[in-house]
Amino acid sequence: MADTIEEAVNSALDEAPERNFRETVDLAVNLRDVDLDDPNNRVDESIVLPQGTGQETRIVVFAEGETALRAQDVADEVLDGDDLEDLGDDDDAAKDIAGETDFFVAEASMMQDIGRYLGTVLGPRGKMPTPLQPDDDVVETVERM
């Protein structure tokens, strides 16, 4: 199926006239006979582009201990539980970090506190953190974003 999609995109690009701007390709997928009201049928997937987006991304990691130490090398900022509480007390700072940051990653154990302190800021912006399970590698997760 991937080959047919790639062939269709290449064909459309080859047959289209030359444009005086940078072209992009949008992909729309229609799902038939899927009841999205059933939570088991919800779709929440991330796709890693082979060439990236071509833009710099800012990634913040909520972590403590060894995970925080490993994340310092790859993340733009690493915040611990105390920083999280401070952000919860300062709405302006929370809104600033939400606006400046493209992706958030958090240890699964911190997700409840993130929801409590930052849920009202991150949720509406669609920037709730990607949970990092205990057996996941924070370096690999951040680099994939």
Residue with tokens 């038939």: 32
Predicted pLDDT of residue 66:
87
Q: Supply φ then ψ for residue 63, to 5 degrees.
A: -160, 165
Question: Per residue in 56-114, pLDDT tens?
Answer: 889 888 988 888 888 888 888 888 888 888 888 888 888 888 889 888 988 888 888 88
Beta partners for residue 60, in sequence order: 77, 104
pLDDT for 143 beyond 70: yes
Does the pTM exceed 0.85? no
Q: Where are the domains of the chain?
A: 2-41, 59-144
CATH architecture type of domain 59-144 = 3-Layer(aba) Sandwich (3.40)
